[in-house]
Structure 1
């Protein structure tokens, strides 16, 4: 048997066959036969054994174009385009003939590496050497331009091709799909049909990814029909894309029908597509059942499966499932997978426990952490009110990772705002400028928020004015800033300016901000008009937070009956936020009877929330109804609810000092209380207001 006829394929034991062939070639002295050497070289390249392929290539006494093409293709397939490019340049220097396979492999590497400028050089060589009309080269050129986002150039290549095949059309369609150009992609598809070209899974699947909204439901049905017509409905790519498209168009029922119909041809992506569809439609229980079924049918979940199903456990009601999944992940040995760990951290952060114990435990156990890991913990610390810890953690981040991104700056600026630490906030602002992220919309929004919370509304406005004004995020922030500073008319003026900008889209947060401004300024009629105009004029249905703002607005104006009527007219059940706002309105208006009714609703919804007990008890106390006040406090004790003390912060020489009433934790508390006692004794000795005013003036 000739060595050149030994089968060298892609089977699991083919690498052993390549080694045997190589050994026999050395032993028999036939390695000098260029056909045999190329066959072995091809075997190593296919098996991704790059070092053996390189070693053999260097030892070959003779080489031809096939040898060089094999090395170029091998490096491209391994994702090492730089090496492939070097082999190409050396091949050219050594005078070997370049052919369609050379250019085809090289252009595939250019496309993967997105090296468009090199692609242009290769295109020039193809034209010079007369390969412009070669179908293989033309398809590779078109694919390269399309994947590099140069669809106009890809289109020109297609027009110049004497023979257009489905591969060329599919590459061009995929290029327009990648750019999100729906109209052109479907126009090309129509042209394909007119030319009578074969429609493949690579044609229909990319187009389905563009049908991702309810308005495209009929188009999805049409594409599904075409897939059936061409016998492609059971092709995995088409089936999976159809499930996702139906789901994103709002029809989970149709997605389920496609999934059920693919029983004999499902792959892991099919299961994951259906899993994602259930989660998009908030059908968490169906998602959990599907996750179990996929394993019963022998499909091992991958990283996507785990991260998706973990996202279904964010709500408190599914917390037990989340803990079970965490155990399964440890059992399957995935506890060091960065995406899975990040998903677990997010799950624990969003499970409404306001505890950082589990997220920090997972974070500390991770051998490798990416920016998402760090930012998740930083954001979590900021959101649960551990702002001092967030600032310290940000300091650790600067030493642990090379680059701080806009998520990091946004989170740490929010912590600076919560603590009203102006000096630290200004330092972070400088860091953002140095990093070139000071104009990022999220960073600008956080800067506005930070300066406003620190009482420097002028700097908040400066941050807004000095940066691009093409995002609703920054507009919403500046409206909020002026609303919270009691400058409602300026806030409304910004709202008017925002409406005049075509590139800025109003959203539900805009109306929360502007309703807040109306509430703080007592502009009840203006606020009512805005609430009514939201849906019919701007297409934004009012949410629960908008009703809460309106209730607050009526309460501040002393119009409790209208606040009550508004809550009763809401198109959905009031949540805790609305009841709390209404309770505050009752307190402001001194209506104890209605306050008791509202408090009973709140105690059912949030029995562990201390604010309700405190507000109701204080209200009874102010009206000298001592028995009811004591009864509320007794109920609070019985339920084990404790009042969370309010903290104050002061920043001195870049150091934040936190304290609360009767606090003895500060290291200098003895000196502080001694000095406070001296002040109190001095105040008691003062006989009249004038002396007191002089004394207070001398202190400050």
Structure 2
């Protein structure tokens, strides 16, 4: 395979990728940063200082060349202030002196000062050259100053430097980075002989715009008519290959890398390790990683570690981390961020990495602290939310990710009251509330069914301009549905964008939970007419809707058609919905057969659904079987014993009921009471069965007795219960 030009690019890469959904990858800056200067740098700095001292001592005012050499050395390896001080000491400054100082400012990111220096240089009547304009144009490109770039373009033409490859490449870079690809091509085509920098600037411009086809076509053109591609060329192209469909394309591009002798370049190898993993082939990433013997740098190790973390391969990630330590590689914040991310479901193990973070002095690094927060929050089943809060409290600088992580942690851990209090703290701290925070707060309102507070947050959403966000709209729909106001849920849905499955799923679930299954099915039909692709969550809602309204045959058809028609493999939750579908209709044999047909072992949710159906229809034999399977999976789940105990008592099987209760006592299990919430005058009141902890308990029970008496009286006289006065 000599040319990628023969490939049907459109088959593997979309012509216009959306950069807002798939931001271009950037190489980690650690590849060019060091914690201390190297011996070579110290030696060069010492040599420059000695030359500086000799020049001052000798008073060699006319040796401008020597002064410029010292200035160039200071500009590269000393502070900007030192370079400026030396510049002021040069007795006779020439254009080279100004160029060195301008280049120093550009390298330091002091773009405005570099532009001011160009103005001062021109005001003194000094002639600029290709090197002057090259540095200035580099700063203009980085700052994205299109109009200034056009002015400099005129200056380049006026000074006769438009045919110079150095100036021309810099201009191509300016226009490409400013998104003006047409003007970039115009400059490029006027260049007598474009160099690799020019070609790469155009390819990078297409990369920024997410134009994969154009970038690869440019590469084909470069192969035919341009200079040999270098490491920068391949590093840019590798950023596009970030999904499984691009795997074959990745193999072919890797072949090109080998063909042009770039397989030993660290930058290319590091990008290829990442690209292979993002194309779904961890095996190829590891094979390439292992083939890099003496050329592994910190980025290489971090790339492989991040690849394992991305796919949740905890053991492999830890192995790479340990090997880094054994090889004496200085680990940085990217290393710890990745390995901690790999331990999301292993909070106890993650504590060991937390200790290493403190030991290495990285606890003040916000990305590392955010990774620790996420790890503890994901492990909240082990009671680690308190650890997350401690970590949050010790952070020196908290960004929006930090605050949102804690808020989401409370919400996902069903600590809804704490979540809403924390949301209040976020507002008091004058933080900018984003769509993640609004979604988490609305979900907590849903869990507590606090309608009035949810409506207030809805007002904040509208005021903040997040009403059109899919996830916020979905949370609003869910909140109104859980609070029993399905009409407002539908209104929120109608006001949403409806261009993907997120909001559709919420409204389908809403109607399903309100017993309006046919409305949910109508919405699914409308969804298909609008060509909105359903996902696995959509079918959970649809099959549940069929279950609630007794449409067993329709639900069964959906269950069977998911993979062959919609390309969505059945997951555990779909089987649980199917068991509920058959179980509610009393088709317990069909429910059991569905469980037996599962390609993986059923979890507790599936068996609990079957057990609940057995209780409704009084199948004691199948219930005992389901209960045995449940107890084998989770012997400490109290609800299994409670359901079975209730069934035994319902059938008058008192000895069996006593046995169950004795087992519960032996294992230290007690029934966990359910809680109810009601919102009165913007305040949530919580109760459980026989609860008397509420300060108005006596009044409440007194009123309850009155209501019960009215109901009994209405029942005995045949009166309409709806006319009972509730006060």
Normalized against structure 2, the TM-score is what? 0.88
| Pairing partner for 2:436 from 391, 395, 407 | 407
Q: How does 1:598-609 map to 2 (within 5 A)?
A: 598-609=626-637
Question: For residues 69 and 697 of structure 1, what CA distance do their matches in structure 2 show?
Answer: 91
Contact 2:377–2:388 at 8 Å: present in 1 too? yes
Identify the residue that residue 208 of structure 2 maps to in structure 1.
Answer: 178
Q: Is 2:598 the partner of 1:573?
A: no
Q: Is 2:649 the partner of 1:621?
A: yes
Question: For residues 123 and 529 of structure 1, what CA distance do their matches in structure 2 show?
Answer: 66
Q: How does 1:217-616 map to 2 (within 5 A)?
A: 217-315=247-345, 318-351=346-379, 352-502=381-531, 504-616=532-644
Secondary structure, in 3 states, of the residue corresponding to 1:657? strand
Secondary structure, in 3 states, of the residue corresponding to 1:607? coil
Q: Kindly state the Cα deviation for residue 267 of structure 1 after the two structures are TM-superposed.
A: 0.9
Q: Kindly state the Cα deviation for residue 686 of structure 1 after the two structures are TM-superposed.
A: 9.4
Q: Kindly state the Cα deviation for residue 114 of structure 1 after the two structures are TM-superposed.
A: 3.3
Q: Kindly state the Cα deviation for residue 170 of structure 1 after the two structures are TM-superposed.
A: 1.9
In structure 2, relative to structure 1, the CA distance for the partners of 1:62 and 1:215 (3 Å cut) is same
Contact 2:677–2:684 at 8 Å: present in 1 too? yes
Secondary structure, in 3 states, of the residue corresponding to 2:724? helix
Question: For residues 347 and 415 of structure 1, what CA distance do their matches in structure 2 show?
Answer: 21
Question: For residues 506 and 127 of structure 1, what CA distance do their matches in structure 2 show?
Answer: 56
Contact 1:10–1:46 at 8 Å: present in 2 too? no
Question: For residues 300 and 13 of structure 1, what CA distance do their matches in structure 2 show?
Answer: 23
Per-residue CA deviation, residues 487-540 of structure 1 (Å, 9 max, x unaligned), is 2222222211221224x3322112222222222222221112222222222211
In structure 2, relative to structure 1, the CA distance for the partners of 1:353 and 1:152 (3 Å cut) is farther
Secondary structure, in 3 states, of the residue corresponding to 1:645? coil
In structure 2, relative to structure 1, the CA distance for the partners of 1:269 and 1:530 (3 Å cut) is same
Q: How does 1:129-140 map to 2 (within 5 A)?
A: 129-140=159-170
Q: How does 1:4-15 map to 2 (within 5 A)?
A: 11-15=41-45
Secondary structure, in 3 states, of the residue corresponding to 1:11? helix
Secondary structure, in 3 states, of the residue corresponding to 2:382? coil
Contact 1:32–1:60 at 8 Å: present in 2 too? no
Contact 2:308–2:342 at 8 Å: present in 1 too? no
Q: Which runs of 4+ in 1 moved over 6 A?
A: 690-696
Question: For residues 544 and 173 of structure 2, what CA distance do their matches in structure 1 show?
Answer: 53
In structure 2, relative to structure 1, the CA distance for the partners of 1:612 and 1:94 (3 Å cut) is farther
Q: Is 2:687 the partner of 1:659?
A: yes
Gaps of 5+ in 2: 1-38
In structure 2, relative to structure 1, the CA distance for the partners of 1:189 and 1:622 (3 Å cut) is same
In structure 2, relative to structure 1, the CA distance for the partners of 1:674 and 1:423 (3 Å cut) is closer
Contact 1:48–1:78 at 8 Å: present in 2 too? no
In structure 2, relative to structure 1, the CA distance for the partners of 1:485 and 1:48 (3 Å cut) is farther
Identify the residue that residue 21 of structure 2 maps to in structure 1.
Answer: none
In structure 2, relative to structure 1, the CA distance for the partners of 1:451 and 1:118 (3 Å cut) is farther
Q: Kindly state the Cα deviation for residue 623 of structure 1 after the two structures are TM-superposed.
A: 2.1
Q: How does 1:4-153 map to 2 (within 5 A)?
A: 11-22=41-52, 25-26=55-56, 28-30=58-60, 34-35=64-65, 37-57=67-87, 63-153=93-183
Question: For residues 610 and 144 of structure 2, what CA distance do their matches in structure 1 show?
Answer: 58
Q: Kindly state the Cα deviation for residue 412 of structure 1 after the two structures are TM-superposed.
A: 0.5
Identify the residue that residue 204 of structure 1 maps to in structure 2.
Answer: 234
Comparing 22-31 with 174-183, which one deviates more in the overlay? 22-31
In structure 2, relative to structure 1, the CA distance for the partners of 1:346 and 1:678 (3 Å cut) is closer
Identify the residue that residue 6 of structure 1 maps to in structure 2.
Answer: none
| Pairing partner for 1:166 from 158, 172, 196 | 196
Secondary structure, in 3 states, of the residue corresponding to 2:679? strand
Q: Is 2:689 the partner of 1:676?
A: no
Per-residue CA deviation, residues 441-487 of structure 1 (Å, 9 max, x unaligned), is 11111111111111122221222222322222112212222222222
Q: Kindly state the Cα deviation for residue 396 of structure 1 after the two structures are TM-superposed.
A: 1.0
Secondary structure, in 3 states, of the residue corresponding to 2:213? helix
How many positions carry a matched residue from both structures?
686
Contact 1:48–1:74 at 8 Å: present in 2 too? no
Question: For residues 455 and 326 of structure 1, what CA distance do their matches in structure 2 show?
Answer: 44
In structure 2, relative to structure 1, the CA distance for the partners of 1:578 and 1:122 (3 Å cut) is farther
Secondary structure, in 3 states, of the residue corresponding to 1:12? helix
Q: Kindly state the Cα deviation for residue 58 of structure 1 after the two structures are TM-superposed.
A: 5.6
Q: How does 1:180-195 map to 2 (within 5 A)?
A: 180-195=210-225
In structure 2, relative to structure 1, the CA distance for the partners of 1:281 and 1:421 (3 Å cut) is closer
Identify the residue that residue 3 of structure 1 maps to in structure 2.
Answer: none
Q: Is 2:667 the partner of 1:639?
A: yes
Q: Kindly state the Cα deviation for residue 266 of structure 1 after the two structures are TM-superposed.
A: 0.9
Q: Which structure would you say has the larger RCO, counting Cα contacts within 8 Å and 6 or more residues apart?
A: 2
Per-residue CA deviation, residues 407-427 of structure 1 (Å, 9 max, x unaligned), is 111101111111111111111
Gaps of 5+ in 1: 1-8
Q: Kindly state the Cα deviation for residue 431 of structure 1 after the two structures are TM-superposed.
A: 1.5
Comparing 110-119 with 532-541, which one deviates more in the overlay? 110-119
Per-residue CA deviation, residues 241-298 of structure 1 (Å, 9 max, x unaligned), is 2222333333333322222211111111111222233344543222221211111111
| Pairing partner for 1:689 from 693, 696, 714 | 714
Question: For residues 679 and 528 of structure 1, what CA distance do their matches in structure 2 show?
Answer: 44
Per-residue CA deviation, residues 187-219 of structure 1 (Å, 9 max, x unaligned), is 222212212621211122322332333433333
Contact 2:310–2:342 at 8 Å: present in 1 too? no
Question: For residues 478 and 272 of structure 1, what CA distance do their matches in structure 2 show?
Answer: 42
In structure 2, relative to structure 1, the CA distance for the partners of 1:590 and 1:264 (3 Å cut) is same
Q: Kindly state the Cα deviation for residue 323 of structure 1 after the two structures are TM-superposed.
A: 2.4
Contact 1:10–1:47 at 8 Å: present in 2 too? no
Q: Kindly state the Cα deviation for residue 687 of structure 1 after the two structures are TM-superposed.
A: 7.8
